[in-house]
């Protein structure tokens, strides 16, 4: 295992993933770049259709092809470009060194297979465990993720488990080979709030214990605030802003981020009219020239409708895709660095 | 809280039980399902909804909040209890009489994709209630529909389009237009924003709030999203496994929850502020919500409650006015000792009282 000198576990460079649809080409992910440091948690926030899930499917090369296609870019994981690997090599990484948890724990588990067997599969395949070894390991993993009476319940079927329990099983499966990277795509969206708190706490605890790096995809800014070190905000297939989590929440440098933050009701605040971002997300098959957010933006000027905005460096580890990034950042109380 | 002039809808001891079968002679003969299984989705709920307010109803999945909303409008038949609207008990009206009342009571559904007929145009969808209740026809109806669309923020050019041509947020607006067509007094909004993106949620919450002011509406706003509930509601009722466990005004319930379940629920809500999140102490609940088929005895929350004592397994707590206009169902607190943290271990100051159990 070669480790790159700068401490990056994952480096995504100029990734483009396009989909051929009846309406034309949809640029679901369009030229995005980011890094994930070892041991850190990166949050990817965006609304439906922003490209956050496609980004991660691209990293592990699970984009349905056709209609999807990774058009260009590099995904450097531990020094290797995953996009150049042959299929059998990527299969050895998937589930072993990069694991995934999906939103819906019901559809991601096989309803006809015992829980134990599903957890065993991963280690039998990747670690060459014997049946007995794998079974013991599976029970241990189920215990780790907090399934009560794990040995007694290991031979249950998925429908006998609640949503929260099923998500725990998914986490047990994902972590059973001690992956270096865990990708969690809306892991708690289908769960109740008290169960969400349990699962998030579990992910945090396991991360502390194993040192796994995590990419957490979510639409919930509250979850991002509590779980992540870095945040990427996506809109219309582009990264609109990226920064350290505390910095992004304190001094957002992009009108879209600002709008998103203001449109979440603050429970500690007085009731009043909630800020709303006007309009709808753009039709991804027919993007107009200029900034894709222009039609909904409070700061819009003529240039925004004409020219695609630059990705402006505002501070160390803080970039924003906006013609007026510096102004927005200053207004939030930040001091832009001089290039 | 007794029914008074400001009460629009008054719910008394409402129950909705679903019989899952079992326990019949044949079941006994074959030795399967020998016990009768009943889901007590709503089990003795009493509350008044005041004219012009938004009452938030919050709880986790399976707690019965949607069933309660539907039972008020009799979209699900109540098993027992009363729902008073204009001094009539909706729960016991004949279907013809109920039809007349439905004009005043409408519902907005969660799933904007499933609740609109895909073969009807927007104009037909929003106009259908006008026809059903013979409120307008022809030219007049068309004009009314155009107004409705504009009221909910849709262009009247959309009148001939079909639901699939719209986004989720726009569809929810169509659903709202349909509910408004008959000029109702009361609207049950059942998870109206749950299926929508964050930026669209804010739009729909603001729209509902504006409509309430302009049209003097009263809402029962059902949601599992505590942040949204806190924002839109005047008062909030918290539901757990078929029962109301706490009622107070929205600010109070958020800042000073009394019942342990409400405390845990509110502490579980992620706050979009990294600094708050970093220092925050959460009350972590053990385990899952128990099945409503055989709910726990006594206080239904006792299996997960960090403060539970033996007595909690036996006594069904009643809603008691612990502080002015703040009701909670927990035997371990009382008006004299409202804060459970200050109550002596093992003590149950709420116990011996017989009496007030009404909200």
Residue B27 pLDDT exceeds 80: no
Name the percent of chain A lying above pLDDT 70.
Answer: 96
Mean pLDDT along residues B29-49: 86
pLDDT value of residue A339: 66
Query: pLDDT confidence of B4, banded at 50, 70, 90?
Result: low
B203-214 confidence digits (pLDDT tens)? 999 999 999 999
3-state secondary structure of B10: strand
- A277 Cβ neighbours under 8 A, 6+ residues apart: A256, A259, A260, A263, A296, B199, B202, B203
| Local confidence band at A146 (pLDDT 50, 70, 90 cut-offs) | confident
- What is the distance in angstroms between the Cα of B124 and the nearest Cα belonging to chain A? 24
Give the closest-approach CA distance of B61 to chain A in angstroms.
7
Residue B357: per-residue pLDDT: 47
Q: Note the Cα A138 to chain centre separation in Å.
A: 26
Read off the pLDDT of each residue in B36-64 and give the average, rounded to a whole number.
92
pLDDT tens readout for residues A99-140: 998 877 677 888 899 999 999 998 998 888 999 999 999 998
Average pLDDT over residues A287-308: 94
Question: Quick check: B205 and A165 CB within 8 A?
Answer: no
pLDDT mean over B5-11:
90
Give dist(CA B256, CA B338) in Å, integer.
10
Which of A18-27, A84-93, B5-14, B28-37 shows the lowest mean pLDDT across its residues?
B28-37
Cα–Cα distance list, B73 to A136, A145, B70, B217, B239 (Å)? 53, 42, 5, 16, 18
Report the distance separating Cα A242 and Cα B35, nearest Å: 58
For helices B138-151 and B168-180, give the axis angle rounded to 10 degrees: 130
Q: Over 50: is that where the pLDDT of B341 sits?
A: yes
Burial of A69 (0-12, 13-18, 19+ CB in 10 A): middle
Q: Is A295 an interface residue toward B (CB < 8 Å)?
A: no
Chain B contact for A226 (CB, 8 A cutoff):
yes
The ipTM assigned to this model is 0.80
Q: Which residues contact B81 (CB under 8 A, 6 or more apart)?
A: B11, B12, B13, B14, B15, B44, B45, B91
Supply φ then ψ for residue A71, to 5 degrees: -80, -40
Point out the residue among B199, B226, B272 whose CB comes nearest to the CB of A193: B226
Task: Please name the member of B167, B205, B289 whose beta carbon is closest to the beta carbon of A274.
Answer: B205
pTM assigned to the model: 0.86
Sequence length of chain A is: 339
For residue B271, give the DSSP letter. P
More confident residue, A250 or B61: A250
Instruction: Report yes or no: A265 at the B interface, CB cutoff 8 Å.
Output: yes
Is B270 in CB contact (< 8 Å) with chain A?
A: yes
Distance CA(A308)–CA(A295), nearest Å, equals 13
Does B195 reach chain A within 8 Å, measured CB to CB? no
Residue closest to B332 by CA, chosen among B127, B324, B344: B344
The share of chain B scoring above pLDDT 70, in percent, equals 96
Lowest-confidence region among B23-32, B48-57, B95-104:
B23-32
Q: How many CA atoms lie within 13 A of B121 on its CB side?
A: 13
Identify the pLDDT of residue A279: 86
Q: Which residues of B touch A222 (CB under 8 A)?
A: 227, 269-272, 277
Residue of B nearest to A260 (CA): B199
As a whole number, mean pLDDT of residues B298-311 equals: 94
Nearest to B197 among A198, A219, A221 (CB): A219
CA distance B257 to B252: 7
Please tell me the distance from the alpha carbon of residue A250 to that of residue A78, in angstroms, as a whole number: 32
Contacts of B326 by beta carbon, 8 Å cutoff, 6+ apart: B246, B247, B248, B249, B252, B253, B258
Tell whether the model's pLDDT for residue B2 goes beyond 70: no
Q: In B51-118, where do the E strands start and end?
A: 54-58, 80-85, 88-89, 105-108
pLDDT, one tens digit per residue, over B260-301 is 999 999 999 888 888 888 888 888 888 777 888 888 999 999
Quick check: B275 contacting A, CB < 8 Å? yes
pLDDT over 90 (residue B7): yes
pLDDT at B5 over 70: no
Confidence band of A245 (pLDDT split at 50, 70, 90): very high
Q: What is the number of helices (H) and of strands (E) in chain B?
A: 11, 12
Read off the tokens for A1.
């295992």
From the CA atom positions of chain A, what is the Rg in Å? 21
Task: Name the phi and psi angles at A45, rounded to 5.
Answer: -110, 145
Angle between helices A131-144 and A115-126 (to 10 degrees): 120
**Mean pLDDT over all residues of chain B?**
89
Longest Cα separation, chain A: 67
Q: Which residues contact A87 (CB under 8 A, 6 or more apart)?
A: none
Give the pLDDT confidence of A180-202 residue by residue, as tens digits: 999 999 888 877 888 888 889 88
Q: Which of B217, B196, B228, B184 is nearest to B56 (CA)?
A: B228
Helix (H) or strand (E) holding B46: strand B38-50
Instruction: For residue B62, give both structure tokens.
Output: 């399976």
Chain segment B142-175, per-residue pLDDT in tens: 899 999 999 998 888 889 999 988 888 889 999 9
Q: Sort out which chain A residues have CB atoms less than 8 A from B282's CB and list them.
A: 197, 201
- Tell me phi and psi for residue B245, to 5 degrees: -115, -20
Question: Does the pLDDT at position B250 exceed 60?
Answer: yes
Tokens read off for B164: 């699939």
Give the pLDDT band of residue A4 (cuts 50, 70, 90). Answer: very low
- Tell me the per-residue pLDDT of A23-81, one tens digit each, with 9 for 90 and over: 889 999 999 999 999 999 999 998 888 999 899 999 999 998 888 999 999 999 999 99
Query: Which one-letter DSSP state was computed for residue B281?
Result: P
The pLDDT of residue A84: 94
Structure tokens at A280: 């709808």
Taken in order A97, A102, A108, A109, the sign of the CA dihedral is positive
Per DSSP, the residues of B185-252 read: SEEEEESTTTTS-HHHHHHHHHHHHHHHHHHT-EEEEEES-HHHHHHH-SEEEEEETTEEEEEEEHHH
Beta strands of chain A (E only): which ranges? Answer: 8-21, 24-37, 41-45, 68-77, 80-81, 98-101, 181-185, 213-218, 230-235, 238-244, 311-315, 318-321
Report the 3 state secondary structure along B124-172: HHHHHHHHHCCCCCHHHHHHHHHHHHHHCCCCHHHHHCCHHHCCHHHHH
Q: Does B274 touch chain A (CB under 8 A)?
A: yes
Q: Is the predicted pLDDT of residue B1 greater than 80, yes or no?
A: no
**Considering chain A, what is the average pLDDT of its residues?**
89
pLDDT at B352: 67
CA distance B140 to B146: 10
CA B145 to chain centre: 29
pLDDT bracket for residue B90 (50, 70, 90): very high
Compute the distance between CA of residue B219 and CA of residue B340 in angstroms, rounded to an integer.
32
pLDDT at B350 over 70: yes
Identify which of A310, A278, A279, A304 has the alpha carbon closest to the alpha carbon of residue A289. A304
CB contact under 8 A, B226 and A275: no
């Amino acid at each position: 295992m070669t480790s790159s000198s700068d401490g990056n576990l994952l480096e995504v460079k100029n990734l483009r993933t396009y989909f051929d649809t009846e309406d034309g080409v949809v640029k679901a992910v369009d030229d995005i770049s980011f890094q994930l440091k070892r041991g850190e948690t990166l949050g990817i926030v965006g609304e439906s259709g922003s490209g956050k899930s496609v980004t991660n499917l691209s990293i592990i090369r699970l984009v349905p092809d056709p209609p999807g296609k990774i058009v260009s870019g590099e995904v450097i994981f531990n020094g290797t470009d995953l996009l150049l690997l042959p299929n059998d090599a990527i299969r050895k990484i998937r589930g072993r060194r990069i694991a995934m948890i999906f939103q819906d724990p019901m559809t991601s588990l096989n309803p006809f297979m015992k829980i134990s067997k599903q957890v065993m599969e991963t280690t039998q395949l990747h670690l060459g465990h014997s049946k007995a070894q794998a079974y013991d390991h599976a029970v241990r993993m189920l215990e780790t993720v907090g399934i009560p009476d794990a040995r007694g319940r290991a031979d249950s079927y998925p429908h006998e488990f609640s949503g929260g329990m099923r998500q725990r099983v998914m986490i047990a499966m994902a972590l059973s080979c001690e992956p270096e990277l865990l990708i969690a795509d809306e892991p708690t969206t289908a769960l109740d709030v008290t169960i969400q708190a349990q699962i998030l706490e579990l992910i945090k605890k396991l991360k502390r214990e194993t040192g796994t790096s995590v990419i957490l995809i979510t639409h919930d800014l509250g979850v991002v605030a509590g779980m992540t070190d870095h945040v990427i905000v996506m809109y219309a297939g582009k990264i609109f802003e990226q920064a350290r989590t505390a910095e992004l929440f304190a001094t957002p440098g992009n009108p879209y981020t600002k709008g998103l933050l203001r449109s979440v009701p603050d429970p500690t605040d007085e009731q009043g009219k909630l800020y709303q971002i006007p309009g709808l997300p753009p039709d991804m098959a027919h993007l107009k020239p200029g900034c894709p957010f222009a039609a909904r933006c409070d700061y819009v000027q003529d240039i925004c409708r004409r020219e695609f905005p630059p990705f402006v460096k505002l501070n160390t580890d803080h970039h924003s895709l906006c013609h007026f990034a510096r102004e927005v950042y200053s207004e939030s109380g930040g001091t832009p660095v001089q290039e | 809280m007794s029914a008074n002039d400001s009460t629009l809808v008054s719910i008394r001891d409402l129950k909705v039980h679903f019989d899952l079968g079992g326990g019949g002679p044949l079941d006994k003969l074959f030795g399967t399902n020998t016990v009768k299984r009943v889901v007590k989705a709503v089990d003795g709920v009493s509350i008044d909804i005041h004219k012009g307010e938004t009452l938030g109803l919050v709880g986790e999945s399976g707690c019965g909040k949607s069933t309660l909303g539907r039972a008020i409008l009799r979209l699900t038949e109540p098993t027992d209890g009363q729902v008073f609207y204009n001094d009539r008990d909706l729960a016991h009206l004949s279907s013809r009489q109920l039809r007349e009342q439905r004009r005043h009571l409408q519902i907005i559904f969660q799933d904007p994709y499933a609740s609109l007929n895909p073969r009807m145009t927007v104009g037909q969808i929003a106009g259908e209630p006008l026809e059903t209740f013979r409120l307008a026809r022809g030219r007049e109806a068309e004009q009314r529909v155009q107004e409705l669309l504009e009221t909910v923020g849709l262009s009247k050019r959309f009148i001939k389009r079909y639901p699939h041509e719209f986004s989720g947020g726009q569809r929810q607006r169509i659903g709202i237009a349909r509910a408004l067509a008959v000029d109702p007094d009361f609207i049950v909004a059942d998870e109206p924003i749950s299926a929508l993106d964050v930026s669209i949620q804010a739009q729909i919450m603001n729209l509902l709030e504006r409509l309430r002011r302009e049209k003097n509406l009263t809402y029962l706003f059902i949601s599992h999203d505590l942040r949204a509930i806190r924002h839109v509601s005047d008062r909030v009722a918290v539901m757990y496994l078929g029962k109301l466990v706490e009622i107070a005004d929205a600010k109070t319930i958020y800042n000073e929850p009394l019942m342990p379940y409400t405390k845990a629920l509110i502490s579980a809500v992620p706050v979009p502020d990294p600094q708050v999140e970093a220092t925050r102490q959460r009350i972590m609940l053990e385990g899952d919500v128990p099945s409503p088929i055989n709910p726990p005895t006594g206080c239904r929350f006792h299996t997960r409650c960090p403060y539970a004592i033996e007595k909690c397994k036996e006594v069904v707590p009643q809603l008691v006015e612990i502080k002015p206009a703040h009701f909670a169902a927990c035997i371990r607190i009382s008006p004299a000792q409202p804060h459970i943290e200050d109550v002596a271990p093992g003590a149950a100051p709420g116990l011996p009282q017989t009496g007030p159990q009404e909200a």
